[in-house]
Each structure stands twice: as structure tokens, then as C-alpha cells.
């Protein structure tokens, strides 16, 4: 029987990417999953916090008989010693948000490999699915790279192209990318087992880097075009959501909207109009219909904001928007 390839998996405790990676690596006949390194106690990846269905990597690993470690710092001496003693051939990093130091990266006998949801060198950094939708991309890729000390700067081992429509939300694109990453892992495993793959440097002249979105990135500025605002809303779905403030400083989180073909033709962007129980907001060019909003953590029709006593006396609260 051939010698198994030994792997350490790094992922977040609630990662929707780490969960299928864990199951595949623990069950593969040519892989020995030595351990899983995940988030420290009381810390979760915010990508997945408000998802309808959650995962728990620790519980899954225990049920599969896989060693699980939750260090406060992955670079702590005791963590490094335990990983060295396991003598892995590869690291597989799938949605893990602590930096791996040079000392850690030097441990695998073959190499550390990171799966990143973007067409590197473009969209390096955090939450690329958010930024790609917000920027109006219609095609992208996922990447597997040989890790180095930079942020998503390592040589490219494999990429898989993805085309998507103009209607995906952030969660929809992220989920599609997760599924494609699972397929790419299945393609990569036999190459890792046989140590039979090549890689090429990234062209850093094409690099773009995006950090974690800030609160201001989620703010809806109705002085922009309607199509741009609709993208912003889809990019921010579901958590924390794109929002605007009324002039009474009430925060409205918009979860979906529709660009109409009706020109706004008014001087003041952000003006609200009502028609047959529907809410419309004037943008730079067209009227934007608000479809759904967040109300106490639940997605509800935006029309509930109109003359509805169940909105805590917020009757017609959209009369004025603070731009």
C-alpha cells in the first residue's frame, strides 16, 4: 500500500469552505489528515455569522476522529512544536484569517497551499466576493497558491474560471466559489499525492488588494447611479447589509432592490415616492424600487415601512433621507 500524504488543515471554526475540505481530506484513501487548526475559542469568521445554516468545525472534526486545535495565536511556540512533530507534507489553508509566519510556512515537507476566492493577482485580500459584486465583475476565478510570507502573493498552482450573472448576492457568489473550490481540491489531491504539479509567479503589475469592508462601504449614497446602488445592495447581502439613514438618524438596511426604467428627472437624489404600496428612491439617473429590508434580523417587504403600526410608529419614516 502506498504511503499516505500527510496534511494539516487550517480553517475558521464556522467556515462553509473548511467543512467540506475537512470531510474530503479525512475520508480520502491517499490522505492522512493529521489535525485541524481553527479559530480560538469565542471567535468566529464574520463571513458566515448570519447564514441560515451554520457549521462547527470542532464538532465535525471530533465526530470524524480528527485532532482539533484552537490556539489563541497560530504562531505560538507550543502550536509550532505540535505541528512540527506531526511532520506534515502539506498545509491546506481554506478560509483561515491568521497570518502564518515564516517558521510555520517552512514546516511542510512539500509546501503550504492556500485556496483563495479570486483571480489572483487581482482581488487579493479579504472578502473578494463582496468587492467583485460591488465593482460589477461578471467573471472571476478561484486560485490555489503556494504560500509565502506576503498576503496572497504566492506562486499560482491552479485556477478555475467562474462566470456568474448580474444578480448574485455576496452570499450567492461566495457559496458558488466554495463549491468550485471543493472541485479544485479534488483535482489537486492526486497531484499532491504524486508531487506532480508546477506553479508560476503572479504578475504583480496586475495586482489589486482589498481590505475588510468598512461601515462606510455599506452606506448607500443615492447621488450615484441606480445600477451602482443595486450592486452595492447585492454585495452587502446579508450581513451587515447596505443601509441609509433618515434625517431623523434612523438606519434602514436594504436587502434587495430593483432598478426601474423610469428616469428620476429631479434635482434632489434620495427623494422618496410611494405608488400602490411600493417604495421608490430617486438616484442620479433612475428610480430605485426598494424590495426587501432587514427588520429585527428578518428579511421583510419594504412596503411594511408604509403606514404600518407594527413598525413601532415609524409611519412614513422614509419621507426624508440623509445623504
Q: Is 77 exposed, middle or buried (0-12, 13-18, 19+ CB in 10 A)?
A: exposed
Q: Parse the chain into domains and list their residue ranges.
A: 5-210, 215-320
Q: Does residue 127 have a pLDDT over 80?
A: yes
pTM as predicted: 0.91
Q: Helices 170-193 and 226-236, interaxial angle, to 10°? A: 60
CA-to-CA distance for 232 and 241, rounded, in angstroms?
A: 9
Q: Poorest-confidence range of 6-10, 161-165, 217-221?
A: 161-165
Instruction: Tell me, yes or no, if the two domains 5-210 and 215-320 fold the same way.
Output: no
Model confidence pLDDT, tens digit, residues 43-97 = 999 889 878 889 999 999 999 999 999 999 999 999 999 999 999 999 999 999 9
Q: What is the DSSP letter of 302?
A: G
> Which residue bears the cell 479579504?
126
**Domain 5-210: CATH superfamily, name plus number:** Formyl transferase, N-terminal domain (3.40.50.170)
Q: For residues 60 and 321, which has the higher predicted lDDT (pLDDT)?
A: 60
CATH of domain 215-320: 3.10.25.10
pLDDT band, very low/low/confident/very high, at 115 (cuts 50, 70, 90): very high
Amino acid at each position: 500500500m502506498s504511503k499516505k500524504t500527510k496534511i494539516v488543515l487550517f480553517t475558521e471554526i464556522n467556515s462553509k469552505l473548511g467543512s467540506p475540505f475537512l470531510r474530503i481530506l479525512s475520508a480520502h484513501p491517499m490522505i492522512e489528515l493529521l489535525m485541524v487548526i481553527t479559530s480560538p475559542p469565542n471567535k468566529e469568521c464574520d463571513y458566515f455569522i448570519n447564514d441560515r445554516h451554520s457549521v462547527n468545525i470542532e464538532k465535525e472534526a471530533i465526530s470524524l476522529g480528527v485532532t482539533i486545535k484552537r490556539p489563541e495565536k497560530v504562531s505560538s511556540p507550543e502550536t509550532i512544536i505540535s505541528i512540527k512533530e506531526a511532520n506534515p507534507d502539506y498545509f491546506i489553508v481554506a478560509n483561515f484569517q491568521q497570518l502564518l509566519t515564516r517558521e510555520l510556512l517552512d514546516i511542510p515537507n512539500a509546501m503550504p497551499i492556500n485556496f483563495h476566492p479570486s483571480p489572483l493577482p487581482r482581488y487579493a485580500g479579504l472578502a473578494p466576493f463582496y468587492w467583485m459584486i460591488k465593482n460589477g465583475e461578471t467573471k472571476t476565478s478561484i486560485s490555489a497558491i503556494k504560500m509565502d510570507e506576503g498576503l496572497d502573493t504566492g506562486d499560482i498552482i491552479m485556477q478555475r474560471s467562474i462566470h456568474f450573472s448580474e444578480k448574485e448576492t455576496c452570499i450567492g457568489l461566495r457559496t458558488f466559489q466554495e463549491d468550485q473550490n471543493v472541485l479544485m481540491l479534488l483535482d489537486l489531491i492526486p497531484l499532491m499525492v504524486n508531487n506532480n504539479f508546477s506553479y508560476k509567479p503572479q504578475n504583480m503589475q496586475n495586482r489589486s488588494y482589498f481590505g475588510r469592508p468598512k461601515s462606510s462601504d455599506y452606506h448607500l449614497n443615492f447621488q450615484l447611479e441606480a445600477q451602482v446602488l443595486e450592486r452595492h445592495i447585492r454585495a452587502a447581502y446579508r450581513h451587515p447589509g447596505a443601509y441609509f439613514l433618515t434625517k431623523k438618524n434612523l438606519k434602514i438596511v436594504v436587502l434587495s432592490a430593483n432598478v426601474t426604467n423610469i428616469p428620476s428627472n429631479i434635482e434632489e437624489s434620495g427623494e422618496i415616492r410611494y405608488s400602490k404600496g411600493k417604495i421608490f428612491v430617486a438616484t442620479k439617473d433612475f428610480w430605485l424600487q426598494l424590495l426587501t429590508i432587514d427588520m429585527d434580523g428578518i428579511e421583510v417587504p419594504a412596503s411594511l415601512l408604509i403606514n404600518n403600526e407594527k413598525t413601532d410608529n415609524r409611519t412614513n419614516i422614509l419621507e426624508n433621507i440623509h445623504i
